[in-house]
Amino acid sequence: MLRLAWILTGAGLIGWPTTVMAGDPVAVWHADGSAEDSSGKGNHGAAIGTSRFAQGLSGQAFELNGLDEAIKTAIDTQVDKANAQSDSNSEWPQWRGPERNGAASFSPTLANAWPPNGPKKIWSSKPVSITPGPYAGGHSSPVIAGGKVYQYVADREGRHDIVMCLDAAHGTTKWTRRFEAPYKLMHGASATPCIVDNRVYIMGGRNAYCLDANTGTTVWLRVPLMTLAPNFPGDYLQEVSSSFVVGEGVAAVVVDKCAGLDLATGKTLWTTPSPGGYALAMTSPAFWSHEGQKYLIYGGTLRMCCVNPSNGNVVWEVTGDGQGGDHAHTPVVLDDYLICFWQGKLGIYRVSLDGPQCLYEAPMADKHSSPIAFKNRVYFVGCPDRISSTAVVCYNLETGELIWSHSVKNPEYSSPFLADNKIFLLTDQGKRLAMLDALNGKLLGECPIDAKPWASPAFAMGCLFVRKHDDGISCYDLTAKNNVSPRNKPAFAIKASASNVYQGMEEYAAEQAFDGDAGTRWATDDGTHQAWIAAEFS
């Protein structure tokens, strides 16, 4: 990751380029009479307009007129790419987040607790018009990339796949696409979009789509990608809920078999054996990186496979007895650890090219939710045998030790996420949002919320994105700056007063200074030179 900034010194003087970087600089320009790169990488600059130099903070500096003069370099694209990569790590561009492990790579400081009604809602988008019916809309989750929110909605009764794109800052619609699609009116069709290199990869109920992320223009369609498979145990599995994972030149998805599609054309490059059971249409593959090569891992009740995505070769395969639960979750890979369900147990495995070695396993009733793996911990919503009710559990990834568990009333199938050492999850069929301390499992906050059952929340730039019952999206601010912590709340004024309030308006009253809302304030009349504001704290 690289950040490159210029220090502006006076009118039109550009001084020493300040670089803050994780690795080697891509270029160094001393601006001492030339725009040559002294890093040895040959990224020399070229003057646009007059080439002048002036005294800088250290040695000389470029002198530009601030209008049409510039120093052009060949590394603009590299810098943009590095910045874009950084941005994508702050967003949630695919199912289970940027690293597909359920955790935010970067997060601002989040509030330690919420006011009674929950975190501040920033916006709520308009409802999506679909035909009412059982499981209407499916359970796909929102993703965020490039400052936009993407959502797939399965209009079953209306026989359409809907893909929409919203502005992440305001919730306004950027574009919407509707495609005719077959449905069986069951509760599949819940795949989550994957955004990579300005493309939206979406697995609908049966069809697969690749769209331009900015315009929604079709890049390719696979209609249908999945036909009815003889392995399918029931009607409800005739629609796919597997979410694309994209990398190594392929878009991979589990549609009975695992299929690798060509990114440019959507053509099937290879297929590998079905994981079996529910997983054959509901689980999603994950990437495992090993010695510079990426491999795909997916699993179900019949089979766990590791596949080379470059050619579809099966690196290893473990077969099961077909028992042990629904296997609708997505396995998580962290370094060489694999966390997944296998034969009715939540297992922690060490993966090598020879296969998965089980390190620890815990009996666990599968609740469809996908695990979180972050640093040296695994978090999961499930039913361990030593805990009577469903709980969020936390295990040490290296020792398998149960670190904490937190009982959850009325859990649902959506998956939690981790950000800023906090676990966020929906409960009670999407009617409530809970926040736990990831260190000890302590409940930090709980509040009502309008969320679509089974659709998972997403997190980007300190904001929570939730799919609503009406299939629109709501965005909430989770950051500390706009939310009041109850740990701090006793310090807030219970009575506030001021000598003067602007035109006596309530919105500028003294209380506004202490309500914890950065959007309100105390103000006085024009011409005020003396004033006081007082507060009585609890």
The CA distances from residue 422 to 45, 279, 450, 498, in Å, are 45, 29, 21, 38
CA atoms within 13 A on the CB side of 425: 32
Contact region with other proteins (CB under 8 A), list: 223-231, 379-387, 390-398, 525-533:
525-533
CB of 317 to other proteins, least distance (A): 51
Is residue 122 near other proteins by the rule CB under 8 A?
no
Member of 114, 466, 492, 509 binding other proteins (CB under 8 A): 492
Contact (Cβ atoms closer than 8 angstroms) between residue 29 and residue 37: yes
Is residue 439 near other proteins by the rule CB under 8 A?
no
Q: Cα–Cα–Cα angle for 152, 157, 162, nearest 5°?
A: 20
Is residue 524 near other proteins by the rule CB under 8 A?
yes
CB of 533 to other proteins, least distance (A): 5
CB of 106 to other proteins, least distance (A): 19
Contact (Cβ atoms closer than 8 angstroms) between residue 175 and residue 124: no
Intra-chain end-to-end CA distance of the chain, in Å? 47
Residue that has been written with the tokens 């049966």 in this structure? 206
Member of 1, 7, 21, 531 binding other proteins (CB under 8 A): 531
**Closer of 230 and 490 to other proteins (Cβ):** 490
Provide the token pair at 20: 């803050």
Of 282, 414, 400, the closest CA to residue 337 belongs to 400
CB of 91 to other proteins, least distance (A): 23
Member of 392, 458, 484, 509 binding other proteins (CB under 8 A): 484
Provide the token pair at 481: 């700056």
Question: Distance between CA 17 and CA 297 in Å, rounded?
Answer: 44
Backbone angles phi, psi at 163, to 5 degrees: -120, 125
Is residue 488 near other proteins by the rule CB under 8 A?
yes
**Closer of 122 and 535 to other proteins (Cβ):** 535
CB of 517 to other proteins, least distance (A): 8
Is residue 116 near other proteins by the rule CB under 8 A?
no
**Closer of 365 and 513 to other proteins (Cβ):** 513
Per-residue x/- marks for other proteins, 55-94, CB under 8 A? ----------------------------------------
Question: Distance between CA 201 and CA 213 in Å, rounded?
Answer: 9
Member of 6, 106, 236, 502 binding other proteins (CB under 8 A): 502
Positive or negative CA dihedral for 356, 371, 474, 488? negative
Q: Cα–Cα–Cα angle for 475, 480, 483, nearest 5°?
A: 65
CB of 444 to other proteins, least distance (A): 14
Member of 46, 57, 264, 491 binding other proteins (CB under 8 A): 491
Contact (Cβ atoms closer than 8 angstroms) between residue 148 and residue 166: yes
Residues that bind other proteins (CB under 8 A): 480-482, 484-485, 487-488, 490-493, 500, 502, 508, 512-518, 521-538
